Structure 1
Amino acid sequence: MKLEIGNFYVKDIVFGDKTFYENGILTINKEEALAFVKEDEHIIEADIKIVKPGENVRLVPVKEAIEPRVKLNGDPLFPGVTGDVVKAGNGRTHALKGCSVLVVGKHWGGFQDGLIDMSGEGAKYTYFSQLKNIVLVADTDEDFEKREQQKKNRALRWAGMRLAEYIGNAVKELEPEEIETYELEPITKRAKEVNDLPSVVFVMQCQSQMEEMGYNDLVYGWDMNHFVPTFMHPNEVLDGAFISGSFMPSSSKWSTYDFQNFPVIKRLYKEHGKTINFLGIIASNLNVALDQKERSALFVSQIAKSLGADAAIVAEEGYGNPDADFIACIVALENEGIKTVGLTNECTGRDGQSQPLVTLDEKADAIVSCGNVSELIELSPMETVIGELKSLARDGLSGGWAHDEVLGPSVREDGSIIMENNSMFCGDQVVGWSPKTMKEF
């Protein structure tokens, strides 16, 4: 399987009378783009704004992020979601780099939504403050969930994906500035010098806790609550086979943009044939019942052992209940003699004194921490708020609150806020963006 991603590096984004890309400038016909979005009858209000790094802008409630792309063969950008189920990971895809489509609720937020600051103290907590963002600010007629703390956000998420594909079409016929090529030989057909290197597999534990459909990550449009651990080609991940769900507290989530650009996968590709033999991906799940967790751990370890893995990296999307899956998977791999490193955030409480993961084991002795979800963060007011700031406190965002006996309200009268890291949009960046490290004492 050979995937070529043709990159176009966006220097600026402006509105104009047509949508096109030229000399690093992405021009968007706002009216045409909005008309395309509003083809979905569930979108009742919508606007598009452009925000850039360094601007005095706060976005909340942020629901999704997608990189604008287009597939040259006409296949849907997200197979099984925005079009038919077809194979991802092969052929040519064009991508607009340095930018994203952000989806922001005009009013209603929920447990899984987050916040992005484009400047100031808050900007360092999320990768998306570094990007030029095309912001779809919208509301829907999904009245049944507006006052629910847990939302599927279906119409808004799908609108963002469709908008990303519409914008991506601007570079479909152009020659890219750079082409990244991702190709792995079949495991049994690799050269001896590659097979002699340490063999590494990446275990990707996607969020799938909700037994009701519509909240979990999707793979080729399939709800991952129904999924079992499966060996997959890394190109499928980078080319739209996975989309983000709408369940986890925001700092722990992997956005669709994260799946499209997964830094851990790209680094493993970079080392393939040099320091390691990159076997591929074991896509796994994070279900609720204990027997499901144990079964998945056994599946993962059996697949890894059968592939001949010497080492594994396990990345967990989420925390709390999924910690049991995470540790069980590491232990099962170690029991097979496979040296394993884990990537996760922690929930150590606001004072940092609590147990970092729900469950631990002596065999989980190599874990990379990407931050504490409960860390308190104070942020100054911003000149511009896109969305609705009071949603952080009113609507049950996982890191905000209406009132605390000690700390007071999460959103203060002057527009400043205090909140937990939980509410930073994809802030813990377990996929590999994270600049965080441990402090030594």
Structure 2
Amino acid sequence: MKLEIGNFYVKDVIFGDKTFYKDGILTINKQEALDFVFEDEHIVEADLMIVKPGDKVRLVPVKEAIEPRIKINGDTLFPGYTGELSQAGNGRTHALKGTSVLVVGRHWGGFQDGLIDMSGEGAKYTYFSQLKNIVLVGDTDEEFEKREQQKKNRALRQAGHKLAEFIAQCVKDLEPEEIETYELEAVTKRNEEIKKLPSVVYVMQPQSQMEDLGYNDLLYGWDTNRMVPTFMNPNEVLDGAIISGSFMPCSSKWSTYDFQNCPTIKRLYKEHGKTINFLGVIMSNLNVALEQKERAALFVAQMAKSLGADGAIVAEEGYGNPDADFIACVVALEDAGVKTIGITNECTGRDGNSQPLVTLDEKANAIVSCGNVSELIELPPMETVIGELEALARDGLSGGWAGDEILGPSVKPDGSIVMENNAMFCGDQVIGWSPKTMKEF
């Protein structure tokens, strides 16, 4: 399986009379793009904005991020979801680098939504403050969930996924500035020099806790709550096979942009044939019942052992209940003789003194921490708010609150905020972006 990603490095994004890309400038016909968004009858309100690094802009509630891309052979960008099923991870895909489509609620937020600051102290907490973002801000007629804390956000999120492909059509027939090539030989067909290297598998645990369908991450359009762990070519992950869901406190989330650009996969590819033999990805799950957790751990360990893995990296999208899946998976791999490193965030409380993971085991002795979800963050007012700032306090965002006996409300009268790291959009960056490190005292 050979994937070529043709990169177009976006220096600036502007609105104009037509949508095209030239000399690093992405020009978007705003009305044309909005007309496309309104093809979904459930979108009742929408606008398109552009925000760039350094802008004095706060976005909330942020629901999704997608890199604009187009497949050259005409296949849909997200097979099984935005179009017919097709094989992801093969052929040529063109990508507009340095930019994303951000999906933001005009009014209503929820447990799974987050905040992005494009400048100031808050900008350091999320990767997306570094990008030139095309912001789709809107509302839908999905009245049944507007005041629910947990939302599927179907119409708005899918509009963002489709818009990312719509915008990227402008580079479909252009010659990219750079081509990244990702290709792994079949596991049993690799040369002897590669086989001598330590064999490593990457175990991804995307969010799949909700038994009610429509909230979880999707794999080729299939709800991951209904899957058992499966072996995947890493190219599939990089090429649209998996889509972020609408569940999980937001700092723990992996957006679709994160899957498309997974830094851990890219680093494993870089080391393949040099320091390691990269076997591929085991896509696992995070479920609620103990038996489901144990079943997944057994599948992962058996698969890794059958593939001949010497080592594994396990990363979880979430915390709390999913910690049990995460630790069970690490322990099962260690018991199978596979040396394992875990990547996760922690929930150590606002004072940092609580147990970091719900479940612990002495075999999980190599953990990379990506920060504390409960860390308190205080940010000054921002000049412009896209969305609705009050959503942070009113709508049950995982890091915000309407009132606290000590701290008061998350949103202050002057527009300043106090919140937990929980509400930072994809802030812990467990996917591999995280710049956080440990402090010694």
Same fold (TM over 0.5): yes
Residue equivalent to 1:397: 397
Alpha-carbon distance in structure 2 between the residues aligned to 1:284 and 1:339: 18
1:386-415 Cα deviation digits (max 9, x unpaired): 000000000000000000000001000000
1:5-44 matches, within 5 Å, as 5-44=5-44
Give 1:440 shift: 1.1
Structure 2 residue identity aligned to 1:404: D
Residue equivalent to 1:424: 424
Question: Are 1:222 and 2:222 matched, yes or no?
Answer: yes
Residue equivalent to 1:410: 410
Question: Are 1:252 and 2:252 matched, yes or no?
Answer: yes
Alpha-carbon distance in structure 1 between the residues aligned to 2:162 and 2:210: 25
Structure 1 residue identity aligned to 2:389: L
Residue equivalent to 1:312: 312
1:276-355 matches, within 5 Å, as 276-355=276-355
Alpha-carbon distance in structure 2 between the residues aligned to 1:151 and 1:374: 22
* Identical positions, percent: 83
Give 1:254 shift: 0.3
Alpha-carbon distance in structure 2 between the residues aligned to 1:178 and 1:348: 43
Residue equivalent to 2:365: 365
Residue equivalent to 2:48: 48
Alpha-carbon distance in structure 1 between the residues aligned to 2:379 and 2:159: 30
Alpha-carbon distance in structure 1 between the residues aligned to 2:183 and 2:260: 16
Alpha-carbon distance in structure 2 between the residues aligned to 1:84 and 1:373: 38
Structure 2 residue identity aligned to 1:171: V
Residue equivalent to 2:165: 165
Give 1:148 shift: 0.2
Give 1:362 shift: 0.3
Residue equivalent to 2:435: 435
1:38-117 matches, within 5 Å, as 38-117=38-117
Alpha-carbon distance in structure 2 between the residues aligned to 1:73 and 1:271: 30
Count of residue correspondences: 441
Alpha-carbon distance in structure 1 between the residues aligned to 2:396 and 2:99: 29
Give 1:280 shift: 0.1
Alpha-carbon distance in structure 1 between the residues aligned to 2:173 and 2:164: 16
Q: What secondary structure does 1:70 align onto?
A: strand
Alpha-carbon distance in structure 1 between the residues aligned to 2:197 and 2:135: 45
Residue equivalent to 1:386: 386
Structure 2 residue identity aligned to 1:229: P
Structure 2 residue identity aligned to 1:34: L
Q: What secondary structure does 2:155 align onto?
A: helix
Structure 2 residue identity aligned to 1:204: M
Residue equivalent to 2:240: 240
Q: What secondary structure does 2:287 align onto?
A: coil
Alpha-carbon distance in structure 1 between the residues aligned to 2:299 and 2:440: 37
Alpha-carbon distance in structure 1 between the residues aligned to 2:78 and 2:297: 28
Residue equivalent to 1:182: 182
Q: What secondary structure does 1:431 align onto?
A: coil
Alpha-carbon distance in structure 2 between the residues aligned to 1:157 and 1:228: 25
Return the TM-score normalized by structure 1.
Answer: 1.00
Alpha-carbon distance in structure 2 between the residues aligned to 1:336 and 1:211: 30
Alpha-carbon distance in structure 2 between the residues aligned to 1:409 and 1:188: 58
1:180-209 Cα deviation digits (max 9, x unpaired): 000000011000000000000000001000
Alpha-carbon distance in structure 2 between the residues aligned to 1:170 and 1:414: 42
Structure 2 residue identity aligned to 1:38: F
Alpha-carbon distance in structure 2 between the residues aligned to 1:172 and 1:227: 34
Structure 2 residue identity aligned to 1:368: V
Q: Runs of 4+ in structure 1 displaced over 2 angstroms?
A: none
Residue equivalent to 2:204: 204
